[in-house]
Amino acid sequence: MSRRWLVIVVVSVFVAVLVVALALTGDEADGPASVPTPTASSAPSPTTSPSDSASTSPSPSPTPSATPTPSPSASTAPAASFSATGDLISGWYWLRDQAHQHAATWGFVALPETGDLTFVVEVLATDAVDGARGQQARFFFAWGPATSVTADDWSGRLPVTLPNVSPLEDPVGYTCRGTVTIPRSTIGEVTDLTVRIGRDDVRGELPPSDVHIAVNASSVKLRLP
């Protein structure tokens, strides 16, 4: 009888231990799983691609620059006609013959009705064939009615010296420019006028100039009031 109770007690203890073990196993299975907490060092740093940078930070538009406006200059009128003797080289007639007979004429029409007449003159000048740069232009400027052909037809003439205005970077250095003004009293009421540039004095009173002069159709222009 005592042996039978001993067996019962042992079995009961075993069952109790088994129940407790099963209960503990269930608690662990039902408990929350641990979640690792991210740290600042483990968090990935955001990266920016070139396209993202362009979309978020647009490049500024270029600022337009102002274009300088040239200073206004006095208006001029070109000649209605032009003729010249001399050696034609690259669009310029060179007045350089030994007899000093080469000359050029410009015809102007519809002159201003009052006031003296001022002409803007630009020529080339040197001292010889393929001569030196920096020479002043020396010549005679004559004027008269549109039909002027002889010495007696010219209403007046002036010996003229124009300064050389060639910049230092000009490889030739022949450009001379200036103005010539003729008195209204010498032309009366004419509406058309011929002007002449030559190295000889049309009146034969002054010695000729030996400076080589080159002219073209644009060399003489009438300054308008």
Average pLDDT over residues 78-83: 97
Identify whether 152 is part of a domain.
yes
Average pLDDT over residues 183-210: 94
Asked if residue 10 has pLDDT above 60, the reply is: no
* Residue at token pair 């010495």: 151
Q: What is the pLDDT of residue 44?
A: 41
Strands 212-215 and 92-95, by their bridges, are antiparallel
Average pLDDT over residues 168-193: 94
Identify whether 113 is part of a domain.
yes
As a dihedral over the C-alpha atoms of residue 90, residue 92, residue 93, residue 98, rounded to 10 degrees, the angle is -80
Average pLDDT over residues 168-187: 96
Q: Which of 117, 122, 145, 143 is nearest to 225 (CA)?
A: 117
pLDDT class of 189 with cuts at 50, 70, 90: confident
Q: What is the pLDDT of residue 43?
A: 39
Identify whether 102 is part of a domain.
yes
The pLDDT tens digits of the residues spanning 137-148 come to 999 999 998 876
Identify whether 196 is part of a domain.
yes
Identify whether 34 is part of a domain.
no
The pLDDT tens digits of the residues spanning 90-137 come to 999 999 999 999 999 999 998 998 999 999 999 999 999 999 999 999
Domain count, the chain: 1
Listing DSSP states for 106-151 in one string gives EEE-S--SSS-EEEEEEEEEESSTT--SSPPEEEEEEEE-TT--SG
Identify whether 97 is part of a domain.
yes
Average pLDDT over residues 14-39: 48
Q: Which residue segment(s) compose the domain that 86 sits in?
A: 76-223
Identify whether 32 is part of a domain.
no
Which tokens hold the place of 195?
Answer: 């002007």
The CATH code of the domain that includes 212 is 2.60.120
pLDDT class of 179 with cuts at 50, 70, 90: very high
The pLDDT tens digits of the residues spanning 31-51 come to 434 434 334 333 344 343 433
Answer whether 0.85 is exceeded by the pTM: no
Chain-wide mean pLDDT for the chain?
A: 78
Identify whether 205 is part of a domain.
yes
More confident residue, 19 or 127: 127
